[in-house]
Amino acid sequence: MGYESLLAWLEKNQIAKLDGDVVEIGSFLGGGTAKLAKFFGKCGKKVFAIDIFEPSFDKTKNIEGNSMASLYSQVLRGGNQEEVFRETTRKYLNVIMMKGDSKQVTVPCRAICFSFIDGCHDPDHVRSDFYLVWGKTVSGGVVGFHDYGADLPLTTRTIDELIEVNKDSVKVTSQIESKWIILLTKK
């Protein structure tokens, strides 16, 4: 997915030095969650990992007509997503797992320095996920999205709309194009 490139960008921009914790929406198997927990754990930050843990939930289709649910199912090969996540992240005591639909949760931290959104890819969820974290994102903090400019054009279009609607509070956007990541830094 590109967490190494993402972590290098976060390090270069000193995001871990900002006030606030971390939110990851869409944790899948926990590999990225573990990397975020290790990186931000050095600064005493918590990582709130939000996922519904139902691989069949995201019916969004890519340009080839494959649903995200079918792609997740192929990766899991009958395995249990939540069990894999728990095993992958078990040694990171700063991970707070929040099982549920991201449209129905409340993030319990008061401030956020970084969020990464890679949950359900339908436009309503993308919008909801952004607004779930943007209001608590500190000045200089970052909200990142995965699958920007990739094979999910509705996701990309929704992110572009969010950038336009919120342009007065977005300081700058940055991309890690090779990993389909866009990062919005808050004013």
**Per-block mean pLDDT, blocks of 10 residues, the chain (187 long):** 92 98 98 98 98 97 97 96 98 98 96 98 98 98 97 98 98 96 98
Q: Residue 15's pLDDT is what?
A: 98
Q: Residue 91's pLDDT is what?
A: 98
Q: Residue 138's pLDDT is what?
A: 98
d(CA 13, CA 105): 29
- What letter does residue 16 receive in the DSSP assignment? G
pTM over 0.95: yes
Identify the structural domains of the chain with CATH numbers, from first to last. 3-186 (3.40.50.150)
Q: Residue 144's pLDDT is what?
A: 98
Q: Residue 73's pLDDT is what?
A: 95
d(CA 36, CA 30): 10
Positive or negative torsion for Cα 142, 104, 37, 95: positive
